[in-house]
Amino acid sequence: MKMQFSKHSVLKGSERPAPQAKKLEKIDKKELMNVTVKLRAKKALPDLLNPEVYKNFTPLTHEDFAKEYGAAGSDINLVTSFAHHVGLSIVRSEPHKRTMELRGTVKQMEDAFKVDLANYKSDKGKTFRGREGAISIPNELAGIVEGIFGLDTRVIATPKFRMLKKKKTNGTVSYFPTDISKIYNFPANATGKSQNIAIIELGGGYTTSDLASYFSDMKLNPPNVVAVSVDGGSNSPSNPNSADGEVMLDIEVAGGIAPDANIVVYFALNNNKAFLDAINEAIQSTSFQPAVISISWGSAEGPAGGWSTSALNAFNEAFQSAAALGITVCAAAGDDGSEDNVNDRKVHVDFPASSPYVLACGGTFLSTNNDVVTNEVVWHDSNGGGATGGGVSDVFGLPSYQSNAGVDVSLNTGKPGRGVPDLAGDADPNSGYTIQVDGQTMTIGGTSAVAPMMAGLIARINQNNGKPAGFINPKLYADPSVCRDITQGDNITTHNKKGYTARPGWDACSGNGVPDGTKLMEALS
């Protein structure tokens, strides 16, 4: 029977507020554009938040995952019929990712999904395409299509790095990643050999000359680095004050911790379609098959950070897929304290770090003497130098692995939720990392440094243990003694002084504390 596709209904969770930008008068209705359509899985993904499922679960191969949890051929055929019905082209169908990419003009997309698209200009002068309200889909696709991304191209995330703005004083120090690996007792006889680390970047770039010079300074050979383009993103270095600082921090920290690992950098544009596509590309890669992914970009979860419910669900399911495939995902918890760069007098946690399938990485200020820790406190520079993110999710419920951790309730709703972060590491620019960017040597911090630090550590652990660590959160909370507790400091940055304070045990500033790399390796073995 031929489908009519005549009646539409709202795609649940697709609502977005109007962009906070100037709406321009004209948009070229004939301009070509692409969207990613997210499809349902053949059956529910493995619930690794269930302790009984987690205990007996063996990570899946990519082949088995695609066979069991990919998109059904009948669903792809139905979306294909709809695309042809409204004049859209099929760019690609990827059942293993549960995605299809469609291409058409602005006018065709507006008609297909019952939206009004417009161009906007941000206060920084950048033009982007935006929409307001919900997306609608044909009734025949209800329950099959879970999200449509790319209609709106507004910026979705910020990099979580902080440069040291002032000159070094007696109170400021900087470390090479090789120093950090000694200070935090990372496994000494591992270098990440034969391991693949994926890094997601939404801007900026690197130069091989910088990497050669930097690793020479550490008396190491530079790691093998590969750049992968997603949705038109590219390795595009420009200047130290751009996202180059993020890219170089990520590569140099991960590579400094695990110099013999292969580092695959996925470059994408900064919007929710490209961000999601890059994550899925890394997770589902059969060419590189990374066992650990580092993400140092994000924004406050929910509408405050620009996330629609369908986007949050799509990203979270991608991380759930990573867990099922035995991939560890590390994400920065944010650099703006309890407010997470939202000026509404409420507390916010950063996403993707707030996903229960992600290892959320918070920040500290580190003091040492001859590679021995003399003091370590929550990162919070009251002079405007940033503070670690952390708090309680208003989107994701309290996962079972945190049920005995003493996680606070949300200061916004009074309800329990996913606690962020899970652990912490050196992030304060005043005790930051010596990094080379665009020919310049500088000190950089931020929780952006902790995500690749943990990715490098996981690569070393995987090498030593002879298997991927995978989704480590339940094991981390089962034995929090693998971390050194951080009990001083806070991340309170809202104008009405709402936020969190460090205390013995888990807290919403430093999680379980700073990992002892060797103890964590033993716990994961």
Q: Please give the positions annotated as active site.
A: 246, 250, 448
The CA-atom distances, in angstroms, between 370 and each of 177, 180, 183, 421 are 15, 12, 9, 28
Q: How far apart are CA 31 and CA 48, in angstroms?
A: 43
Residue 146 C-alpha from the chain's centroid:
21
In the beta sheet, which residues pair with residue 351? 299
- Token output for 83: 């695309």
Strand order through the sheet with 99-105: 89-94, 99-105, 32-39, 145-149
User: Which residues in 180-213 are b (16+ Cβ under 10 Å) and which e?
Assistant: bbbbbbbbeebbbeebbbbbbbbbbbbbeebbee
Question: What backbone phi and psi angles, to 5 degrees, belong to 64?
Answer: -70, -35
* Interhelix angle 244-257/208-217, nearest 10 degrees: 40
* Half-sphere exposure (Cβ direction) of 66: Cα atoms closer than 13 Å: 15
Q: How far apart are CA 173 and CA 284, in angstroms?
A: 40
- Token output for 430: 């005043």
Q: How far apart are CA 399 and CA 357, in angstroms?
A: 9
- Taken in order 114, 118, 122, 127, the sign of the CA dihedral is positive
The CA-atom distances, in angstroms, between 396 and each of 114, 160, 315, 351, 415 are 30, 22, 13, 11, 11
Instruction: Name which of 256, 253, 341, 235 is nearest 294 in CA terms.
Output: 253
Question: What backbone phi and psi angles, to 5 degrees, belong to 206?
Answer: -135, 160
The CA-atom distances, in angstroms, between 426 and each of 36, 81, 302, 328 are 37, 52, 28, 20
State the amino acid at position 9 in one-letter form: S
Length reported for the chain: 525
- Tell the residue number behind the tokens 């034995």, with chain if given: 479
Instruction: Name which of 3, 20, 184 is nearest 86 in CA terms.
Output: 3
Q: Do 48 and 321 meet the contact criterion of CB atoms below 8 Å apart?
A: no
CA dihedral 286, 290, 293, 297 (to 10 degrees): -50
Q: How many CB atoms lie within 10 A of CB 439?
A: 10
Q: DSSP assignment, residue 240?
A: T
Q: How far apart are CA 90 and CA 110, in angstroms?
A: 17
As to burial, measured by CB atoms within 10 angstroms (0-12 exposed, 13-18 middle, 19+ buried), residue 481 is exposed
